[in-house]
Amino acid sequence: MKTLRFTSKLLGLAILALAFSSIASAQATRTWVSGVGDDANPCSRTAPCKTFAGAISKTAPNGEIDCLDPGGFGQVTITKAITIDCDSGPGGILVGAGSGVVINNPTGPVILRSININCDQIAGTNGVNIVASPTVHLLDMNIWACTGSGVTVGASTSVNLTIKDTQIHDCGTGVQTSTSSGFVVGDFEHLAIYSSATAAVSASNGSHLNIQHSDIFQAPIGINIPNGATGSPTVGATGNTFSFAVTAFQATTGGNIGASTNFITSSVTVFNANGGTISSGTDNVSYQNAGPGLANGPALTKI
């Protein structure tokens, strides 16, 4: 009888091992979505899935989901290292509530490329919400009409974030970064952020951002380190254009902004140190700003 029970346990363990092996083998390193796909499919190139959510469960960690053609592929929560690449045809996400993409993956990098996220002006929505991830790359994205933020980082650990060749428009805040522990290290290049309700870029607790060669248009504050921000937030801004802002650069106590070779036009105030530090040479250019454009800030060239 003991031998029979032991044999039964071994058989049960073997069945479990085979089941887990079957689940693992069902996950491919590359899967596909299509506007005419079906989530019942295996997400192969010849039998693609319909949504990102349907494909992600069939994609192995560190794998890739590719878009075969343009389509609306639905909101998705990412809990593993993965790439979603819609470079062959923009993949669309129409946000019904919450966030278009939630990234909550503390173990590996996440890459999103060529995805259009439309929040449709629904209250409290965000385009990309980064809860946890050591590294996130957002490339060639188009995000709009989010009443929260186009991209928001509200992490409890450090995050390395790059945003390149991306448009964010008609959102509450363009990009908002904060962490309760560690740092948000951001490298932003060739961004177009316009018609933000509060700020184009808000660098809060533990944020250390580099912003270059970007266009910031029509925001109450272009680059903002908000009041009460902790962790010595720092922003470096080089070679950007700021147009139609109430305040182009605003710091706060404990915050630091470095500004070089920026062009600021049609704004009210260029620099507002607001108890923090704004460092600048004379290579920033002020053109047709409403006032002197120098409130509580360093000198700059006017033309």
Evaluate if residue 83 carries a pLDDT over 80: yes
| Highest mean pLDDT, choosing among 26-30, 124-128, 288-292 | 124-128
Residue 288 falls in which region: left (phi positive, over 0), alpha (psi -120 to 50) or beta = left
Average pLDDT, rounded, for the chain: 89
Q: Please tell me the distance from the alpha carbon of residue 33 to that of residue 38, in angstroms, as a whole number.
A: 8
- Kindly state the tokens that stand for 30: 């590359």
Q: For residue 290, what pLDDT is reported?
A: 73
Residue 156's domain spans which residues?
A: 69-302
Confidence tier at 280 by pLDDT (50, 70, 90) = confident
Residue with token string 């522990």: 181
* CATH number for position 115: 2.160.20
Residues 6+ apart with CB under 8 A from 210: 186, 187, 188, 235, 236, 238
pLDDT at 3 over 60: no
**Is 8 contained in some domain?**
no
Question: In this predicted model, what pLDDT tens digit does every residue of 167-201 receive, in sequence order?
Answer: 999 999 999 999 999 999 999 999 999 999 999 99
Question: Per-residue confidence at 289, pLDDT binned at 50, 70, 90?
Answer: confident
Cα 226 to chain center, whole Å? Answer: 19
Tell me, yes or no, whether 211 lies in a domain.
yes
Residue 67, CB-side half-sphere exposure with 13 Å CA sphere: 24
Asked if the model's pLDDT at residue 297 lies above 70, the reply is no
Residue tagged 């720092």 (tokens):
234
Total structural domains in the chain? 1
The confidence score (pLDDT) of residue 35 equals 94
Torsion angle defined by CA atoms of residues 260, 265, 271 and 272, in that order, rounded to the nearest 10 degrees: -150
pLDDT at 104 over 90: yes
Residue 41 belongs to a domain:
no
Per-residue pLDDT at 254: 94
pLDDT at residue number 198: 98
What does the pLDDT read at residue 90?
A: 81
* CA angle (245 as vertex; 242, 250 as ends), nearest 5: 85
- For 220-266, what is each residue's pLDDT tens digit? 999 999 999 999 999 999 999 999 999 999 999 999 999 999 999 99
Does residue 23 lie in a domain region? no
